Amino acid sequence: MNKFDPRIDDLVMETRTQWDPSVGNLSDEDRRWVAKAIHEQPQLASQIAYERSHTGFTRTITVKLEDIQRLYVSRR
Protein backbone atom coordinates (compact mmCIF):
# COMPACT_ATOMS: atom_id res chain seq x y z
CA MET A 1 0.00 0.00 0.00
CA ASN A 2 1.37 3.42 -0.92
CA LYS A 3 -1.39 5.66 0.41
CA PHE A 4 -2.44 6.85 3.82
CA ASP A 5 -5.04 4.56 5.38
CA PRO A 6 -6.62 6.04 8.52
CA ARG A 7 -7.96 2.66 9.71
CA ILE A 8 -4.53 1.02 9.62
CA ASP A 9 -2.80 4.18 10.80
CA ASP A 10 -4.73 4.04 14.08
CA LEU A 11 -2.91 0.75 14.75
CA VAL A 12 0.63 2.04 14.05
CA MET A 13 3.04 1.25 16.88
CA GLU A 14 6.36 2.01 15.18
CA THR A 15 7.49 4.47 12.51
CA ARG A 16 10.39 4.49 10.08
CA THR A 17 11.61 7.11 7.65
CA GLN A 18 13.40 6.59 4.35
CA TRP A 19 14.72 9.33 2.08
CA ASP A 20 14.10 9.57 -1.65
CA PRO A 21 17.10 10.81 -3.69
CA SER A 22 15.02 13.86 -4.71
CA VAL A 23 15.43 15.19 -1.17
CA GLY A 24 19.15 15.79 -1.68
CA ASN A 25 21.49 16.61 1.18
CA LEU A 26 19.70 17.72 4.31
CA SER A 27 21.41 18.36 7.61
CA ASP A 28 20.79 15.88 10.41
CA GLU A 29 18.73 18.54 12.20
CA ASP A 30 16.54 19.12 9.13
CA ARG A 31 16.08 15.36 8.66
CA ARG A 32 14.96 15.00 12.28
CA TRP A 33 12.46 17.87 11.88
CA VAL A 34 11.07 16.55 8.59
CA ALA A 35 10.78 12.97 9.89
CA LYS A 36 8.95 14.11 13.03
CA ALA A 37 6.66 16.46 11.08
CA ILE A 38 5.73 13.96 8.36
CA HIS A 39 4.90 11.25 10.90
CA GLU A 40 2.70 13.75 12.78
CA GLN A 41 0.80 14.38 9.51
CA PRO A 42 1.16 11.13 7.55
CA GLN A 43 -1.73 12.05 5.26
CA LEU A 44 0.69 14.52 3.60
CA ALA A 45 3.12 11.77 2.57
CA SER A 46 2.99 10.51 -1.00
CA GLN A 47 4.55 7.09 -0.27
CA ILE A 48 3.57 5.09 2.82
CA ALA A 49 4.04 1.39 3.48
CA TYR A 50 2.35 -0.44 6.34
CA GLU A 51 3.75 -3.71 7.66
CA ARG A 52 2.05 -5.89 10.21
CA SER A 53 4.02 -6.36 13.42
CA HIS A 54 3.35 -8.37 16.57
CA THR A 55 1.65 -5.44 18.29
CA GLY A 56 0.05 -3.59 15.37
CA PHE A 57 1.62 -2.01 12.30
CA THR A 58 4.88 -0.32 11.34
CA ARG A 59 4.51 2.76 9.12
CA THR A 60 7.40 3.48 6.73
CA ILE A 61 7.31 6.82 4.93
CA THR A 62 9.65 7.49 2.05
CA VAL A 63 10.08 11.26 2.13
CA LYS A 64 10.18 12.97 -1.25
CA LEU A 65 10.84 16.60 -2.12
CA GLU A 66 7.13 17.26 -2.74
CA ASP A 67 6.32 15.91 0.74
CA ILE A 68 8.65 18.48 2.30
CA GLN A 69 7.00 21.20 0.23
CA ARG A 70 3.55 20.09 1.49
CA LEU A 71 4.84 20.20 5.08
CA TYR A 72 5.97 23.81 4.70
CA VAL A 73 2.67 24.83 3.10
CA SER A 74 0.70 23.16 5.91
CA ARG A 75 2.63 25.19 8.52
CA ARG A 76 1.15 28.46 7.28
Q: How confident is the model at residue 2 (pLDDT cuts 50, 70, 90)?
A: confident
Mean pLDDT computed over 19-41: 94
Distances from the Cα of 74 to the Cαs of 44, 58, 67, in angstroms? 9, 24, 11
- pTM of the full predicted structure? 0.90
What span, in angstroms and rounded, lies between the C-alpha atoms of 71 and 62?
Answer: 14
pLDDT at 45: 94
Name the average pLDDT for the chain: 93
pLDDT at 75: 76
